[in-house]
């Protein structure tokens, strides 16, 4: 099996190389604290949506774990605290928004669910606080830019709204 190094930690003088990781389309890296982090990717060993978890700042990574629904293409992940986070993406055909939640810093993830009412295909999720967040993306036909917001940490989301004049939204920041 081919493996690659992922350089993710700066110690002030040198880059620290973690153990080798399996090759795959590694698409997302996020840390909920200085020690707990996740990497999401496609085709990590299984050819399906998968993730790895670290609890030591990236020195060592868990075995590859598959998200509950292997056809979930992950696009963006955000943590609202050191333990709570959410990842958003689409189904295999790219026309339905999906999401999954963690309450243990990314060690495990919930069953994949349709995001909001299914009309928003998310490209990014971000939070300004533990409670306030926004997801941006497009409709299933890529003809309208949409957004949805939460004020309760992602438990509920507003009905997706159109941003007039924009067909696709790929970024947002607070």
Q: pTM (2 decimals)? A: 0.78
Residue 110 lies in a domain: yes
CATH number, domain of 63, equals: 2.120.10.10
Residue 170 lies in a domain: no
Residue pair 98/49 in contact (Cβ under 8 Å)? The answer is no
| Digitized pLDDT (tens) for each residue of the chain, 174 residues in all | 334 444 445 455 555 555 555 556 667 888 899 889 898 876 545 566 778 888 988 878 877 777 766 677 788 899 999 999 999 888 777 778 888 889 999 988 887 778 766 678 888 999 999 999 999 888 888 788 888 899 998 888 888 888 777 766 666 666
Residue 169 lies in a domain: no
Dihedral of CA atoms 34, 64, 135, 163 in degrees, nearest 10, equals 130
| Helix, strand, coil percentages in the chain from 3-state DSSP, rounded to 5 | 0, 40, 60
Question: Structural domain tally of the chain?
Answer: 1
């Amino acid at each position: 099996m081919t493996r690659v190094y992922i350089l993710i930690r700066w110690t002030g003088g040198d880059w620290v190389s973690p153990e080798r990781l399996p090759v795959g389309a590694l698409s997302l890296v996020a840390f909920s604290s200085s020690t707990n982090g996740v990497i999401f990717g496609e085709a990590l060993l299984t050819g399906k949506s998968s993730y790895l978890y670290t609890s030591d700042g990236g020195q060592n990574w868990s075995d590859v774990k598959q998200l509950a629904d292997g056809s979930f293409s992950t696009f963006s992940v955000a943590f609202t605290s050191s333990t709570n986070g959410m990842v958003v993406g689409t189904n295999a055909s790219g026309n339905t928004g999906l999401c999954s939640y963690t309450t243990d810093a990314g060690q495990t993830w919930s069953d994949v669910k349709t995001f909001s009412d299914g009309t928003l295909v998310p490209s990014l999720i971000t939070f300004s606080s533990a409670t306030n967040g926004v997801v941006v993306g497009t409709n299933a036909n890529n003809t309208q830019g949409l957004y949805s917001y939460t004020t309760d940490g992602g438990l509920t989301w507003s009905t997706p709204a159109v941003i007039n004049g924009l067909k696709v939204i790929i970024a947002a920041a607070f």
